[in-house]
A = this chain, B = another copy of it.
Amino acid sequence: MIHAEHSALVLVDAETEAQTFRPGFARKIIRTADLMTVVIDIEGGPWTEPDPMHAHSHEQISYVASGEVLFLSEGQPPKHLRAGDLFAVASGVPHSIQLLSPTARLVDTFHPIREDFL
Which A residues have a C-beta under 8 Å from some C-beta of B? 2, 4-14, 30-37, 39, 59-61, 63, 65, 71, 73-76, 79, 81-82, 84-91, 93, 95, 107, 109-111
* A111 CA to B65 CA, complexed, in Å: 21
Structural contact, A59 and B81, CB atoms closer than 8 A: no
Question: How many copies make up the complex?
Answer: 2
B contact residues around A90 at 8 Å (CB):
4-8, 32-33
In the assembly, what is the distance between CA of A73 and CA of B8, in Å? 6
Collect the chain B residues with CB atoms within 8 Å of residue A74's CB: 8
Pair A109/B61 contact, Cβ less than 8 Å:
yes
Across-interface contacts of A89 in B (CB, < 8 A): 4, 8, 32
